[in-house]
């Protein structure tokens, strides 16, 4: 089933590279994509129509191709997933709303490492 997929890139990417990567990941729906640039946190917001079963795989491919962390709201679970280039799997994260953008709370594994360091 096709649905709106919302994702954010950690760093700004040139328009030519971004358009090529989006066309590869989301064609033929790329013409309907809405791209918004923010000055803070995840700097580029993208809304595009995509089959919800493919959204996670496409976000992972986009992260690797653009060498940027990608934040995706999973259309099936409404959970935010953080994709890091080269990582084996995405991490579930909490989103923090900034005044002019979005960021994420420390992923669970980072919180656990910090907690164990405090106990040591």
List pLDDT tens digits, range 92-105. Answer: 998 888 888 788 87
List pLDDT tens digits, range 55-82. Answer: 888 899 899 999 999 999 888 888 899 9
Q: Does the pLDDT at position 8 exceed 70?
A: yes
Cis bond upstream, residue 28 (ω within 30): yes
Q: If you average pLDDT over residues 83-87, what whole number do you get?
A: 90
Q: Does the pLDDT at position 112 exceed 80?
A: no
């Amino acid at each position: 089933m096709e649905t709106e997929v919302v994702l954010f890139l950690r760093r700004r990417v040139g328009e030519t590279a971004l358009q090529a990567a989006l066309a590869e990941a989301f064609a033929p729906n790329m013409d309907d994509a809405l791209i918004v640039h923010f000055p803070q946190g995840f700097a580029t917001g993208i809304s595009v129509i995509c089959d919800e079963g493919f959204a996670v795989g496409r976000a992972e491919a986009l992260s690797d191709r653009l060498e940027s962390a990608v934040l995706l709201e999973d259309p099936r679970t409404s959970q935010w997933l953080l994709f890091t280039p080269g990582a084996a799997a995405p991490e579930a994260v909490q989103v923090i709303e900034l005044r002019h953008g979005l960021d994420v709370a420390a992923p669970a594994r980072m919180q656990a490492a910090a907690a164990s360091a405090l106990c040591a």
